[in-house]
Amino acid sequence: MKELILIRHGKSSWDYNVSDKDRPLKERGIADALLVSQEWANQGKGIDWVFSSPANRALHTCMIFLRQLHLPFDRLRITDRLYDFSGDEVLQLLRELDEDLTTVMIFGHNHAFTYIANLLGNTYIDNVPTSGLVHIQFGADSWAKIEKGTTVQTIFPKHIR
């Protein structure tokens, strides 16, 4: 069975005159990412590989999770395909994943992540919030064949504050 854990980046700041890719996390974004990553870490579930958008806010959120989960940085791949807002590139990336990977964690952006969560999961989610985690399990044993799976859980900051 294949498993996908998708995490939308933490709350970002618009206070700086920087490009979209360079926007940093707000303090609340850091705090929420710590909260959600600790909740996930408490469950003790393994991750084979981590993929992140190169955007500062997504990568910073990813680093918080890697540290909380004690995952080595050599299990991280940064890819422009996750700097996607429609979901098309994200879906293509998932379908091309190495079949040796069972459980992957991805960090990226809305509206792509809400779209993917609803396309591939069986629970409708109006909006994946910042620092929100959605865990989807698939009956397929091939990433190329994933279709509608089961939304195993969601971890949203407002539910654990």
Give the chain's domains with CATH numbers.
Answer: 2-160 (3.40.50.1240)
Torsion of CA 86, 89, 94, 97, to 10 degrees: -170
pTM of the model: 0.96
- The residue among 13, 53, 9 whose CA lies nearest residue 32 is 9
Residues 45, 109, 78, CA angle at the centre, nearest 5°? 65
Q: Please tell me whether 57 is known to bind a ligand.
A: yes
pLDDT at position 160 is 87
Q: Are strands 49-52 and 76-78 parallel, antiparallel or unpaired?
A: parallel
When pLDDT is cut at 50, 70 and 90, the band that residue 148 belongs to is very high
pLDDT tens digits, one per residue of 86-145? 999 999 999 999 999 999 999 999 999 999 999 999 999 999 999 999 999 999 999 999
pLDDT tens digits, one per residue of 2-50? 999 999 999 999 988 899 999 999 999 999 999 999 999 999 999 999 9
- What would the mean pLDDT of 68-72 be, rounded to a whole number? 95
pLDDT at position 138 is 97
Residues 142, 66, 28, CA angle at the centre, nearest 5°? 115
- What would the mean pLDDT of 63-69 be, rounded to a whole number? 97
Q: Is the pLDDT of residue 161 over 80?
A: no
E-strand ranges in 36-138 read: 49-52, 76-78, 103-108, 133-138
pLDDT at position 19 is 92
Element housing 69 (H / E): helix 56-69
The strand pairing partners of 2, in sequence order, are 138
